């Protein structure tokens, strides 16, 4: 009889413990200490072998009943505690929508990107295409097709970083002229393009020079294009960039790929032409190189120089940005000091 009572009392005390358990850990401890391999229930059942054969089935079915009851009670309580834990977690994780938001630290396009996009916008408005060139270029396109054969002395000014005998980091965006002209079908439409990008030169790195900088190449080819078209186009651009009162001045210059060639100056936007530190007391600021495309450059690209003519220019956005924003050291653009860059944040 004794074993039956032990089972009954084990059942009732364990049920009370289960009832009182408040955590899943506690519940697990109860399960292991009762139904586990070394648990009290297992211990009691070990005593079965001493029972008389008549008593064994009676105690056996009672033991099954106790085990099932306890297992069920444990399961039910476990489910309850899990639901409770989940509800608590959900409550704790509730988002308080009345809290003030965290400030997001937005980035901004680099000042040079901003200036280049401003220039691109002007030309898109004039119906130009934007064409990408290659930063690693063939000597052939960078120099020869620009009318600078191997022994040409003007190569010295732009000597650069060679990758092989025939490949180099382009020294200017002008090779894009040749690459675009040779593909263009002039019987269908005139060519109007700009090509912005990085260029490289073996150069002294000082406040106004860098071995890497940017250019925007411009090229227009059609019948009857003259210097007047060049001047008018640049006037639109430079007035947009530096103010409606700007005047333009063209000075004779030399580039192997244009003839005639010019340097283009604008009247100083700071002093209006009287003379100041920005214009080095001349009243004028040199802003770009340009000219009428040399007939040989046209012919080398398969363009009939009797029928077509064109103008080209090469503009330095670094220089435009320096002038426009009073930056006196070009190296600021490339050092990525956040304190410098953040001054040109686009408000958005």
Binding site for ligand PHE (CB under 6 A): 172, 174, 255, 258, 289-291, 312-314
Residue nearest to ligand PHE (CB): 314
CA distance 167 to 139: 6
Q: Which lies closer to ligand PHE via its Cβ, residue 291 or residue 317? A: 291
Give the shortest CB-133-to-ligand PHE separation in angstroms.
12
Give the shortest CB-126-to-ligand PHE separation in angstroms.
17
Give the shortest CB-260-to-ligand PHE separation in angstroms.
11
CA distance 62 to 204: 99
Q: Which lies closer to ligand PHE via its Cβ, residue 39 or residue 197? A: 197
CA distance 64 to 197: 84
162: DSSP letter:
B
Q: Which lies closer to ligand PHE via its Cβ, residue 290 or residue 300? A: 290
Give the shortest CB-101-to-ligand PHE separation in angstroms.
49
Q: Which lies closer to ligand PHE via its Cβ, residue 62 or residue 250? A: 250
**Residue 288 near residue 305, CB atoms below 8 Å:** no
- Both tokens of 194, joined, read 């700009």
The length of the chain, given as a count of residues: 348
Residue with tokens 């029928």: 307
**Residue 175 near residue 141, CB atoms below 8 Å:** yes
Give the shortest CB-284-to-ligand PHE separation in angstroms.
18
**Residue 290 near residue 313, CB atoms below 8 Å:** yes
Q: Which lies closer to ligand PHE via its Cβ, residue 27 or residue 263? A: 263
């Amino acid at each position: 009889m004794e074993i039956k009572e032990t089972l009954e009392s084990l059942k009732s005390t364990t049920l009370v413990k289960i009832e009182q358990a408040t955590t899943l850990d506690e519940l697990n401890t109860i399960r292991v200490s009762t139904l586990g391999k070394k648990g009290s229930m297992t211990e009691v059942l070990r005593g079965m072998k001493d029972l008389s054969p008549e008593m064994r089935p009676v105690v056996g079915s009672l033991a099954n009943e106790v085990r099932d009851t306890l297992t069920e009670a444990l399961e039910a309580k476990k489910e309850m505690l899990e639901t409770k834990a989940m509800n608590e977690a959900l409550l704790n994780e509730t988002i308080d929508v009345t809290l003030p938001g965290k400030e997001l630290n937005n980035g901004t396009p680099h000042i040079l990107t901003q200036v280049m996009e401003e220039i691109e916008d002007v030309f898109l408005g004039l119906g130009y295409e934007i064409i990408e060139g290659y930063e690693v270029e063939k000597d052939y396109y960078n120099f020869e097709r620009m009318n600078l054969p191997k022994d040409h002395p003007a190569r010295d000014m732009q000597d650069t970083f060679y990758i092989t005998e025939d490949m180099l980091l382009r020294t200017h965006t002008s090779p894009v002229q040749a690459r675009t002209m040779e593909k263009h079908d002039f019987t269908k439409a005139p060519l109007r393009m700009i090509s912005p990008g990085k260029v490289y030169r073996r150069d002294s790195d000082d406040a106004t020079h860098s071995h890497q900088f940017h250019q925007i190449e411009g090229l227009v080819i059609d019948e009857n294009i003259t210097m007047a078209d060049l001047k008018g186009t640049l006037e639109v651009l430079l007035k947009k960039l530096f103010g409606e009162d700007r005047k333009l001045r063209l000075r004779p210059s030399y580039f192997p790929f244009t003839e005639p060639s010019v340097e283009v100056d604008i009247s100083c936007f700071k002093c209006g032409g009287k003379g100041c530190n920005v214009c080095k007391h001349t009243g004028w600021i040199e802003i770009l190189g340009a000219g009428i495309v040399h007939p040989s450059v046209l012919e080398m690209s398969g363009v009939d120089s009797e029928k077509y003519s064109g103008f080209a220019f090469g503009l330095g956005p670094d220089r435009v940005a320096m002038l426009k924003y009073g930056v006196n050291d070009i190296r600021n653009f490339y050092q990525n000091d956040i304190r410098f860059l953040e001054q040109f944040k686009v408000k958005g």
